[in-house]
Structure 1
Amino acid sequence: MSDNVSREEGVKHIAEIIKDIRFALLTTVNENGHLHARPMTTQQTEFDGDVWFIGSKDSGSVADIKQAPQVNVSYADTGKNTYLSVTGKAVLVDDRAKLEELWSDGYKAYFEGGIDDPSIQLIKIESQGAEYWESGRTRNLLQMAAAAVTGKTSNDHGTNETVKL
């Protein structure tokens, strides 16, 4: 972790980064040791060090998690030039109260039985660390314009922090 960023500050900043990002990529390791990334819907809950997803018990991601729980969750906000990578351990959870907290009617498109569908699987990512990059669109455009005119590149590519969670 950076000496400048405490865990509490890191969690708060990560929460700010992901709050408006609708989708994340959940990367798992399959039985052959190959990485596989799948889009998942970001839940509308405050990030506290854990990331939650609603998946299907018969999905490839759940099968992968059962045999290799180490995962990565990646977020990108290209409009803000902000990127986040979270590493952690995935845990398969059966918790009706948590499901009710996370559920939205949009999931009816994926689960025929609605919130009572027996194939629903909660996936909790217990974050172990994160790294984020922020540069801002305006800064990048100015740097590109300056480089085109002067031929000189910039070493100021924005903020990059690593947070141990």
Structure 2
Amino acid sequence: MQAQQEQDAEVRARMWKEMGKSPFVMIGLIGSHDHREPMTAQLDEDARGQFWFYCNRDNRVARGGEAMAQFVSKGHEIFACIHGTLTEETSEAIKDKYWSNITEAWFDGGRDDPNLMMLRFDLKDAEIWEGDQSLKGKFKMLTGQTIDPDEAGRHAEVTL
């Protein structure tokens, strides 16, 4: 049990590290038939159970609620399905903290755009897959050999 918890913590830490390198997710509201859409997560090293998104008030996820985000790392070593709740962020300090020139390019009125809002994604649980990065595992994949379960990588289900 202890070994599994340690492995889950390692996989979760790796997911956060990889999200820091490429903070793009596909997100959508649970129960909605709208397609998921790509958004840029604003990450904070000290907030391991939350991330944020800027969006327009007429965006399909703007009403908030229970949501699901999918993440794939740049090198396709980490895959995650993250479940949580989207809520409008009302803290002006948080909104200012993550504001950047890149963000401003998406909003005609800049930081004062009346259509601008920020959503906070509070994570509840996630399922994370970590691919095998060993040379042996990559060789087997390239040559069509069967990959043993212990060579397939790691998998974690985490609750936050």
So what's the TM-score if we normalise by structure 2?
Answer: 0.82
Q: Percent identity?
A: 21
Tell me how far 1:127 sits from its aligned partner. Answer: 0.6
- The aligned counterpart of 1:39 is 38
Tell me how far 1:18 sits from its aligned partner. Answer: 1.3
Inter-CA distance 2–21: structure 2 relative to 1 (3 Å threshold): farther
Q: Which moved more, 1:18-27 or 1:77-86?
A: 77-86
Residues 146-161 of structure 1: pairs in structure 2 closer than 5 A: 146-148=143-145, 152-155=146-149, 156-161=151-156
Inter-CA distance 154–4: structure 2 relative to 1 (3 Å threshold): closer
Q: Which moved more, 1:86-95 or 1:42-51?
A: 42-51
Tell me how far 1:109 sits from its aligned partner. Answer: 1.9
Counterpart of 2:61 in 1: which secondary structure?
A: helix
> Which runs of 5 or more structure 2 residues have no equivalent in the other structure?
none
Question: When the two structures are aligned, how many residues end up with a matched partner?
Answer: 155
Root-mean-square deviation over aligned CA pairs = 2.6
Inter-CA distance 139–52: structure 2 relative to 1 (3 Å threshold): farther
Q: Distance in 2 between matches of 1:132 and 1:42?
A: 17
Q: Is the 8 A contact 1:135 1:157 kept in 2?
A: yes
After TM superposition, the runs of 4+ consecutive aligned structure 1 residues lying more than 3 A away are 8-14, 136-140, 145-148
Inter-CA distance 35–5: structure 2 relative to 1 (3 Å threshold): farther
> Which runs of 5 or more structure 1 residues have no equivalent in the other structure?
none
Q: Which moved more, 1:74-83 or 1:53-62?
A: 74-83
So what's the TM-score if we normalise by structure 1?
Answer: 0.80
